[in-house]
Amino acid sequence: MFTQNKCIVLHCRNNALSTFDEMGNLTEKESYCLDHIPNPGKLKEDIYKYIESHDTIVGLNASGLVFENLDLSNKKFFGCNFSHCTFTNVHSQNIRIKMCIFDFSLFNNCNLIQSNIIFTSFSGSTFTHTLFTESNLIQNGFNGIKAFQSCFDGSDLYNSRFIQAMLVDTSFQDCNIKKVLFYDAKRQNVSFKYANTREAVFSQKGSALALGEDPDEDLNNSTTDGVVL
Amino acid sequence: MKVYFHLNVAGFSNCYLVVNEETKEAIVVDPGEITEELISQIEENFLTLSGILVTHNHGSHVDGIKTLRKIYSPEIFAADWEVAKNQTTVINGDGKIKVAHLNVHYMAIPGHTSDSVVYKIENLLFTGDVLFAGSLGSTNSSYSKFILQSNINQKIYSQQDGLVLMPGHGPPITLEAAKLYCSTFK
């Protein structure tokens, strides 16, 4: 899991991509990153084919690849590395992801409804028009994400983290946000309607009311926090 | 090497089962609670539990050791002798050990507790309560916080970016992202 071999080109700090044997199975051979691989087209093709032909994918390293117009419904990903990837028009229902890394990836027009995503990191990723509606998103890292017109409605985000995230026109309606950390998150037109905002942590200092500060001051960066408006 | 994640519901801490597939040996990191699932994973895969790595002596990270010792005979590595009394292999400072035929690098990073240790196995860093995804471990004084921050700077942030941090609580994160998004590190 998380096989993150470095590219074998001297001084290259990128992660090497997964390689396959003649039977099409994953190997742990030393390899090149996307920038240095001699025949990138073939390896990309192999990775796409592997994902398409397997329902359970364990320990795949596809960092830096572009995924477009895919249907990943009912697939299971465990211990995979998709950091610095681009996902466009990826649609799925009931996708299961556990212990995967999607750091610094781009999600554009993706539909990941009713997903089950646990113990996964999306830190530094950008989500545009991406839907996680009615998903189980327990203990995931969304630190530093940028989310535009995205939707987490009806999801269980228990113990996830949105530290230093930028959330614009994004909705968390009817979500379980118990123990979710929103420290230093910038929010613009974010809706938490029917979500248990009292159980989430928005500031490291503690509640503005408990500290005797003006509670409205903390909410000035958001127009629809809580059930106001 | 394969890693399995287990959530200890009692203390909301993370426990990891690290498996060396070639030798069929396993290591448990921070056994805060022993579940049927964890035992099944060891038994059904015919694994030998070779070692237990303890990041620090807090209940949510060590309470399962008693149970594991009743079933297996693992070597217990910790910086605090109290963890398993005479059964503890006490480690100090920084160094390297071999457990389950895997190279395990350990680094003492006091601050959250005086016995806090992080373990590096291949490209995974088990940070315990030293560093979480987006925040530092809690400390009880500004001096402890200073010590913790300077140790993290020297020993963790100096590592290669491909490292994945597996904390004692909360989600994982890559080192690259951890450096960028740490709310208490300004």
Q: How many CB pairs under 8 A join A and B?
A: 103
pLDDT at B112: 95
Nearest to A79 among B3, B7, B171 (CB): B3
Residue type, B173: I
pLDDT at A227: 37
Picking from A103, A159, A183 by the largest number of B CB atoms within 10 A of its own CB, the best residue to mutate is A103
Question: What is the pLDDT averaged over residues A145-162?
Answer: 96
pLDDT at A206: 65
pLDDT at B9: 87
Phi–psi pair at A27, nearest 5 degrees = -120, 165
- Do A101 and B172 lie within an 8 Å CB cutoff? yes
Restricting to A residues 122-141, those with a Cβ less than 8 Å away from any Cβ of B are: 123-124, 139-141
Q: How far apart are CA B12 and CA B29, in angstroms?
A: 15
Q: How far apart are CA A163 and CA B183, in angstroms?
A: 7
CA distances in angstroms from B110 to B107, B124, B145, B170, listed in the order given? 10, 20, 9, 20
pLDDT at A4: 60
Q: How large is the C-alpha radius of gyration of chain B?
A: 15
Classify A201 as helix, strand or coil: strand
pLDDT at B1: 84
pLDDT band for A16, please (50, 70, 90 cuts): confident
- Do B171 and A103 lie within an 8 Å CB cutoff? no
pLDDT at B186: 53
Least confident segment among A12-26, A148-162, B127-141? A12-26
Q: How far apart are CA A99 and CA A18, in angstroms?
A: 17
Residue type, A186: K
pLDDT at A226: 43
Picking from B131, B135, B173, B185 by the largest number of A CB atoms within 10 A of its own CB, the best residue to mutate is B173
pLDDT at A211: 59
Residue A129 has pLDDT above 60, yes or no: yes
Question: What is the pLDDT averaged over residues A18-29?
Answer: 79
Q: State the ipTM, two decimals.
A: 0.92
- Do A144 and B180 lie within an 8 Å CB cutoff? yes
Is the minimum CB–CB distance between A79 and chain B shorter than 8 Å?
Answer: yes
What pLDDT digit, counting tens, does each position of B46-83 carry? 999 999 999 999 999 999 999 999 999 999 999 999 99
| Cβ A74 vs Cβ A95: under 8 Å | yes
- Do A183 and B124 lie within an 8 Å CB cutoff? no
**B2-180 homologous superfamily:** Ribonuclease Z/Hydroxyacylglutathione hydrolase-like (3.60.15.10)
Contacts of B79 (CB under 8 A, 6+ apart): B54, B56, B90, B91, B92, B108, B115, B116, B117
Is the minimum CB–CB distance between A159 and chain B shorter than 8 Å?
Answer: yes
Domain extents in chain B: 2-180
User: Which of B16, B121, B32 has its CA nearest to residue B83?
Assistant: B32
What pLDDT digit, counting tens, does each position of A186-199 carry? 999 999 999 999 99
User: What's the mean per-residue pLDDT of chain A?
Assistant: 87
User: What's the mean per-residue pLDDT of chain B?
Assistant: 93
Picking from A12, A15, A99 by the largest number of B CB atoms within 10 A of its own CB, the best residue to mutate is A99
Measured between beta carbons, the chain B residues lying within 8 angstroms of A160 are 171
Q: How far apart are CA A170 and CA B120, in angstroms?
A: 37
- Do A124 and B180 lie within an 8 Å CB cutoff? yes
pLDDT band for A223, please (50, 70, 90 cuts): very low
CA distances in angstroms from A57 to A80, A96, A180, B148, B173, listed in the order given? 8, 10, 29, 38, 20
